[in-house]
Structures are given as C-alpha cells and as structure tokens.
Structure 1
Amino acid sequence: MITRRQWLQASSVFATALALGPRSAFAQPAKTVKVGVGLKSINASVINLLVGEALGYNAEEGFKVQGLALGGNANVQVATDKGDVDVGIGVPSYALPILARGEWGQSQWFYQYTYPYKWDVAVKPGSAVKAYADLKGKNIGVSDFGGTEYPVTRNVLKSLGIDPDKDVKWTAVGAGVPAGVALQRGAIDALAYYDTGFGIIDGAGIPLELVKRPDNLPMIGGQFLMGLRPRIQAERATFVGFGRSTAKASQFILENPTAGAKAFLKLYPETAPRGSTEEQAVKSVLEAISRRIKLYEPPYQGAKMGSIRVDEFVTEAKMNDWDIKDFSKIYTNDLIGEINNFDAEKIRAQARAYTG
C-alpha cells in the first residue's frame, strides 16, 4: 500500500518531469548570437542579417540571433571591441580614421553585407537643384551627424571640388519620415540619405526627386559584419554560420522580396505602420528595401557574395587624406569560401515556394 508520504514524493517527481519536458529538453540550448546595428530601432534595412531566424538558417547553424539597435556606428564599434556583442556592423567612414591613427583594436570585418553605392541626394519636385554641383551654397539635411550619409556625401562633394565645410550648410533633421517632412516644408534645400531611408519616405507618400549622381562615383561606403579577431579564430564555426545565414537570407530576398518581407514581419511585427493591414505592412517593407536588395551581391565580376575588396578602403582613405599603408588588420576574406558553401538554388526554390 502506498503511503501519503510516498504518494506526495511521486507526485513531486512527476510534476518536475512535466515541467522539464521530454528528455530532448536536457540538450544544451542554442547559443544566442548578439548582433549590434547602428540604428535607433530595428528596421528593414538590416533584414538580411536577421530574417534567417524566421527561415531556419540560424537553427541549421546551431544558434539563434538577437538583434540590438545601439543607436549609432560608434556605439556598435565600442560594443564589438568590448565583446558586448558577438557581431557588429562596421563602416569605413568611422573605422578608417581609427586605423590611420594606429589605434585599431582587435575587431575584424569578415563579410560585406551591403556593397557601394547606396546614398543619394533628394530635393523637392521642381527644385532648381539638378546636379551635385548645384548644391553649392545650399542647406543639406542628414538624419544625424553620426549617420553614414554625412561623411560619404561630404566625400563625394569634395571629389567634385566643393568644400563640404565652407560651400554648404549641414542640418540634422532626424531619420525616416521627419527627414522627408523637413525637405517637404523647406527647412532644408536637399536631403542626403541612404536607400532604405528614402524607401521609408516614399512609403509615407512624400514626393521627392533624386539628384542625378555624378559620373565615376567612388565605390566607397560598404557595410561589413565584424567580430573580435581572437573570437573569430576560436569560434570560427559561429562566424561562418552567421555569414552563411546572411548569404542565404540575401539570396532568398533577392529571389522573392515579398516572402522576405513576410518573414521579417513575423520576427518584428512592431516595425509595421500602426493600424496597417498585412498587405500594407508587407508593402511598407518592400518600399524600404527595394533599393537596398540590389546591393547584396558584389558589383565585381566573379566575386563571391560577402567578399571584401581592399580597393574600396584605399579609395576612401585617399579621398580623406588618411595615411594608411596597411589595411590587413581591419578585414579578412578567409571565411568567405565556407560561408558560400551552400546550395543557392535550393534557397531560391524555398523563396519561390514560401507562403508565410
């Protein structure tokens, strides 16, 4: 006969077993890879870095991803250097001056996830500004002075013989729709911004015209995945895996942008416009990424996805008179072969068949 004490002990064990779940629950939980981006909030501009979570690519590599919006490129660099994030977004306009001063630490770029060139200057329809040369004497808006559009547009103006400090005025007007409103209301004469930013403004129904880009635009300003060099060496599989997930997601989105948008909204439903239907939410993502997705693949013939060209750094350094003789500390292509070791056609087929 079972005593009350024995019954209570057995019940306790049974309850604990139920709480723990099946034996498979004792397996080590998936590693979390923290990814820092220089945004004030997560948005679709980094869709190819994050959507692998919804598509199963991260799980295939044995980890899950946590996207962290850190507010600016400088914050991402510091967080990466300190090891507070596993993967950060590196930008040459911030990193190369540090390298020139001989102060570069242990961070290393291992995958180029967006290639040049993604910036433009926009004006109100009917503006007298038709070319970059017409910007002399004008008030140019940027989202903020920590944004990539500020140093890159300065460099382009400088290459055209326009002094970015004396010949134009710069005004920080905020990101997204507020930037478009500032242009619409005449608070600025022109807006320097990047592709996905203009997509957000387009989606808000604010009319604008892009100023014709100059000929021979410098191939500068790509964006890169970076991690600490010792960690890349010690945890190579993780960094290869994250790069591979990004490459797969990029192929998926290129093949079926609508499917990519649906997958992204599953992860970040809060990024949809308030009160929007599913169709409207998907449309908002597509408007934001339509220009950016063209830059996922390298513009160099025969180059593998994610591969890094040192020529881009050399060009940007020369434009800014940064004396850098050795760029090897800042990047590596050593992981690119493994990152691209997957069946791209299988990913494209998955994208075509995706229903959400």
Structure 2
Amino acid sequence: MTQKATRHRGRVLLRPLTLIASVALALSACGAPAAAPPGQSGSAAAGGGGGKVVIGVGGQTLLTYLPTTLAQQLGYYKDEGVDVELQDLQGGSKALTAMIGGSTNVTSGYYEHTIQMQAKNQQIKAFVDMGQSSGLALLVSPKNEGQIKSIADLKGRNVGVTAPGSSTDMFVKFLLAKNNMQQSDAAVSAIGAGSSAVAAVEQGQVDAAVMLEPDVSVLTKRIGHNPVVLEDVRSSEGLKEVFATDSWPSACLYAKTDWLNQNKDTAAKLAKAIKRTLEYINGHSGAEIAAKMPESFAGGDKDLYAKVIDDLKKTLSKDGTFTDDGVQAVLKTQQVANPDVGNKEIKLSETYTNDLVK
C-alpha cells in the first residue's frame, strides 16, 4: 500500500469512527500463552455430561463477546439444557490459559488461538463463530497528528497494543510486513484496554496505538475530535483492503479437541444457543438488545450502548458458521505476523468445525 493510499484511507475512515462508537470488539489480549500451564483441578474438571459447563470470556463487557452473555440473559443455554457459568477473565490470553489449565471447559475468545496452539502441538477447535471482523483500528496519538500520516511513518515510533503477542500486536506486525517494513522498525508497548489505553494515547505515552471499542469512542470524546486513523478493519471495506477478504473470524467458542470429542452433545447445545442468539440480534434493535444486557455493561449511557450494538450487528455472523476464505485469511495473518506459526504446516480443518452449529 502506498503512503498516499494510506493517508487517503485515514481520512475516509474518520467519519465511521463516530458511527461505530463503542463497538467493544476487543481483542484485548488475544495472544496465546507461550506454553500450556500444568493441569489444574477445578470446577470445570467434569466438563459436560450433564454437569456445569464453565465458559471463560476474554472480556465480558466487550461487545465482541456480547452474544456469549446475551445467550445467558435470554435463557438460551438453559433452554438447551446446559448449566452454564460465565467467568469474566478480562483478556483472551487469560481465558485461553484457564482452559488449557483445566479451570474452564470452553473459551469465548478469538479463533486465531486455535491456529496458534496447533503450532504448539496443542489441539483446540472452534465450534461456533460469532464475529466476522477483528474490529481493530490503528490510531495516531493526538500529540502526533500531522507527524504520522502513514504506516511508513511508524518507523522508530512506539505503538501501543493491549499486550505483546496479542491480536493487536499481531495486527501491527502484519501491517509493517504489508508495507515492506521490518517488525523491529516500530516498538510496541503494552497499554492494556480501557482507561489505561485511553490515557496512554491521549497523553502521548505512545505515538500510535491499536485500539478497540469502546476505547476509541472514549478517546474521541476526551480529545474533542476524531483521531487520525491509519488502518481500520471494523468494516467490510477495511477487511477487504487489509486482508483481501470480507470475513475474518474473530470471537467464537472453542474448546480442547478432546473435550469436544467427549462432549459433542453439550457442545452442540452451546452452539445452538449462540446461533439462536445471533438470530435474535439480527432481528432486534440495539435498544431491545441493550435492554436484555446487564445494566452495568452500558457504562451509564444506555442510548450510546444501544447505538453501538446496532453498529456491532454489521460485523457479526448471521448463522454461526466459519467460512473457508475467512479462516484462510486468519492463517495468512498468523503466518506473516507470528513467528511461532511462520511456515509450519497448519491443518485448518482441525482448528474449526461447522458440524455442531449445523
């Protein structure tokens, strides 16, 4: 991508920022753990088989995982005959680690984890897709507006990410490679998500940052104008430009392959509950959906929460299935940005299944 094209993209995508306000598509820490922790004994040990199923969520208040919570609020898990406990682990990598360690059965996290873990010889499989966009935006700190106008201008700069190894970090590395730059050309710093991320960008502690909603909206409100956007994959147009696809599976439910094989009926019921929830979202307004969610999730602004849910609907799967071009796009990103994956042979057919949701 030329610098001119990147600058043009930054201008064009400023308007949608306010329209997509607070879509909490959070990849906050969608990175895989360096190694699986030792097994743990916990409430999830029994798994399915009529017992409680513990789902670890990589940030429950983030809208990327809204279907996971909404399914519970609507009573769909119970309708399907599954006793579900949701645990807010406030980060995708933490949720993954908990599942690998045995303290949860299922993770509401990002699909790319299944690829990352197969590269580490650990079999994890996704069985219902919720998101078709990663929902990331690479923004320039207001103190650097005018100085950073393209990806090339990030050379020698410090870019904020939720955590090293996270999907936000992978996004930076992918964009650098896409623009014929070295991964070492820009440094990355962990700024987390939420208030810490907003403060880091607003105060210029980082020169740019990969941010998620609602952080982008909070930042926009605090600085009083739309921040400069270098890349934005929250829209189908952005996905096509960056990843050459209009589908990039993100939030999903996944579990250890062994657990899935032993609990197919339970997993199928979970998949059906999520599919029903996606259908509910598609057929109801943001206000109607917001009214079903825990009041605290709105952050004190129900109108804005309802509005951003309406925007979120555009990025969600309609039927819970994974697409071939989508999983290929995620693999391509990992091959470029993640040295742990690199050129390793990845059997995508072992990282996801549509059988249970169908």
Aligned to 1:37: 57
Aligned to 1:50: 69
CA deviation profile, 1:182-213 (whole Å, cap 9, x unmatched): 22222222121234442454566764424243
Aligned to 1:21: none
Aligned to 1:297: 317
Aligned to 1:24: none
Higher relative contact order (CA 8 A, sep 6+): 2
1:271 deviates by 3.4
Q: Which protein is bigger by CA-based radius of gyration? A: 1
CA deviation profile, 1:164-197 (whole Å, cap 9, x unmatched): 22x2122222311331222222222212123444
Taking a change above 3 Å as real, the CA distance of residues 74 and 173 of structure 1, as seen in their structure-2 partners, is closer
Q: What amino acid is aligned across from residue 56 of structure 1 in structure 2?
A: G
- Mapped contact 1:38–1:76 kept (Cα < 8 A): yes
Aligned to 2:171: 152
Taking a change above 3 Å as real, the CA distance of residues 100 and 322 of structure 1, as seen in their structure-2 partners, is farther
Aligned to 2:345: 324
Aligned to 1:110: 127
Aligned to 2:293: 264
CA deviation profile, 1:99-135 (whole Å, cap 9, x unmatched): 224x213x31111211234111112458123333332
- Mapped contact 1:199–1:290 kept (Cα < 8 A): no
CA deviation profile, 1:152-172 (whole Å, cap 9, x unmatched): 22212212112222x212222
Alpha-carbon distance in 2 for matches of 1:130, 1:289: 30
Question: Does residue 122 of structure 1 match 2:116?
Answer: no
Alpha-carbon distance in 2 for matches of 1:243, 1:202: 36
Aligned to 2:194: 176
1:223 deviates by 3.0
- Mapped contact 2:127–2:353 kept (Cα < 8 A): yes
Aligned to 1:251: 279
Q: What amino acid is aligned across from residue 348 of structure 2 in structure 1?
A: F
Aligned to 2:41: none
Give structure 2 stretches of 5+ with no counterpart.
1-49, 232-237
CA deviation profile, 1:215-272 (whole Å, cap 9, x unmatched): 731155623311233332343232222222222222323431111112112xxx3434
**Which of residues 248, 252, 260 is equivalent to 1:224?**
252
Number of matched pairs: 290
Taking a change above 3 Å as real, the CA distance of residues 210 and 257 of structure 1, as seen in their structure-2 partners, is farther
Aligned to 2:95: 76
Taking a change above 3 Å as real, the CA distance of residues 323 and 234 of structure 1, as seen in their structure-2 partners, is closer
Aligned to 2:153: 134
Taking a change above 3 Å as real, the CA distance of residues 226 and 94 of structure 1, as seen in their structure-2 partners, is closer
Alpha-carbon distance in 2 for matches of 1:294, 1:176: 23
- Mapped contact 2:71–2:273 kept (Cα < 8 A): yes
SS, match of residue 114 in structure 1: coil
Alpha-carbon distance in 2 for matches of 1:217, 1:205: 27
Alpha-carbon distance in 2 for matches of 1:176, 1:286: 19
Question: CA RMSD of the aligned region, Å?
Answer: 3.0
Alpha-carbon distance in 1 for matches of 2:330, 2:204: 36
Taking a change above 3 Å as real, the CA distance of residues 231 and 292 of structure 1, as seen in their structure-2 partners, is same
Alpha-carbon distance in 1 for matches of 2:275, 2:345: 30
Taking a change above 3 Å as real, the CA distance of residues 204 and 246 of structure 1, as seen in their structure-2 partners, is farther
SS, match of residue 157 in structure 1: helix
Percent identity among equivalent residues? Answer: 19
